[in-house]
Structure 1
């Protein structure tokens, strides 16, 4: 199944990547050869593996063409009919972030929360919304996040204009999806308590469900200096406090929206 997903996504990305590589200018090739940078026109695979015993898994492909980043995700085992916030996390300045392991569950309650996961996987670098803004401010804009179908499958495609630093350091980034259903009742409820982002929201709605790093990226030690907080466009970062104040209302609206009407999986191909 994983091989089929990978083959499908690779085929979709292979042609534009090959054209870009063939037409690359000497200056672009030189830029891509610098230490720590990745050549524009490359494609990278990410295997998404479950967090919080969610059963979620999938494959993502990141394709770079200049400052155009195309993200394609095929995920399975998600909470059916529910919106799933998803982001590209990491850093483009050399800090080492990676997917968390069980040790991230600091309070031992069996759930790695968003706050517990951030020290490992870093703050939001890009919000993978279906349309509109992709900055950290849209981290919980669940009304613009993709929705899993009735079988828990999710397909997502979008091309986003990113800063040059992001295009140069795609291999240092990774993807996290959110939304779990530990009691298997098909919805987000308070079975695992309140979200640390906003006590009015269930933990299930904001906890990470899977995570994946670009293949070949090193899993190393924790970065020194911790997680920074800043602002900007796609290269901004967030904190749990910012999520609570800036995104809680959006998440609540998204959950209400999901409960009032039947939602279909959303797929958007181009940046608005």
Structure 2
């Protein structure tokens, strides 16, 4: 068994009025990866996309901070995270092994801004799809970061906040929490 953890801390909190935070645990055992994420103080009654991000070349990804707000609009948007965190890799949705990112099958926070997510993923299928997308079946979890995304659709965002993915706009993709994954055993 190999265990990884990430402490998820707020990103964009000053502009959002919430301090999204939580924990993530990923456990590899045999051909299974068990993913557990629990979040608190997220925007309530909102769907929250969640993924791990990284660099396909194996460079270690870092958590974005306010330093990545290169256009100085007060928000660190999805595109601004890429320089330190890389690209979206694996979604934590209803079927992470499928690596199908843009859809509406992610957790939804309750009216208190809480959600808990647990999924057991077949590693053989995940690694095969990961290799097809990124050229290697090695997930390198200790070199990845987890992002939690999503703000209410009625939140007024400046036009400078980028993050359109398919027909999903920046309200769906705006990061609200981030944490670097560390191996714990």
TM-score (norm 1): 0.56
Matched, 1:193 2:179: no
Q: 1:50 to 1:134 in 2, by over 3 A?
A: farther
Partner Cα distance (1:170, 1:203) in 2: 26
2:170 is aligned to: 203
Instruction: Report the RMSD for the aligned CA atoms in angstroms.
Output: 2.4
Listed one character per residue, the Cα deviations across residues 165-190 of structure 1 (whole Å, up to 9, x for unaligned) are 12xx221222101013xxxxxx3225
Partner Cα distance (2:98, 2:83) in 1: 21
1:42 is aligned to: 2
Other structure's SS at 1:100 match: coil
Superposition pairs of residues 80-229 of structure 1, within 5 angstroms: 80-91=44-55, 93-131=57-95, 134-135=98-99, 138-141=100-103, 143-161=104-122, 162-163=126-127, 164-166=137-139, 169-180=140-151, 187-189=152-154, 191-194=156-159, 196-198=162-164, 203-215=170-182
Q: CA deviation at 1:193?
A: 3.0
**Aligned residues of 1:80 and 1:151 also touching (Cα < 8 A):** yes
More strand by percentage? 2
Listed one character per residue, the Cα deviations across residues 164-217 of structure 1 (whole Å, up to 9, x for unaligned) are 512xx221222101013xxxxxx3225113453449765333210001112369
The structure with more radius of gyration: 1
Other structure's SS at 1:64 match: strand
Task: Work out which structure has the larger RCO, using CA pairs closer than 8 Å and 6 or more positions apart in sequence.
Answer: 2
More helix by percentage? 1
Partner Cα distance (1:93, 1:205) in 2: 27
Partner Cα distance (1:172, 1:146) in 2: 24
Q: 1:179 to 1:94 in 2, by over 3 A?
A: same
Q: CA deviation at 1:155?
A: 0.3
Listed one character per residue, the Cα deviations across residues 45-71 of structure 1 (whole Å, up to 9, x for unaligned) are 110000001400001101011342111
**Aligned residues of 1:193 and 1:202 also touching (Cα < 8 A):** no
Structure 1 unpaired stretches of 5+: 1-40, 181-186, 218-272
2:130 is aligned to: none
2:134 is aligned to: none
Other structure's SS at 2:79 match: helix
Q: 1:70 to 1:201 in 2, by over 3 A?
A: closer
Listed one character per residue, the Cα deviations across residues 125-179 of structure 1 (whole Å, up to 9, x for unaligned) are 21111247641xx3221x211110111001000112232512xx22122210101
Partner Cα distance (1:173, 1:201) in 2: 24
1:73 is aligned to: 37
1:262 is aligned to: none
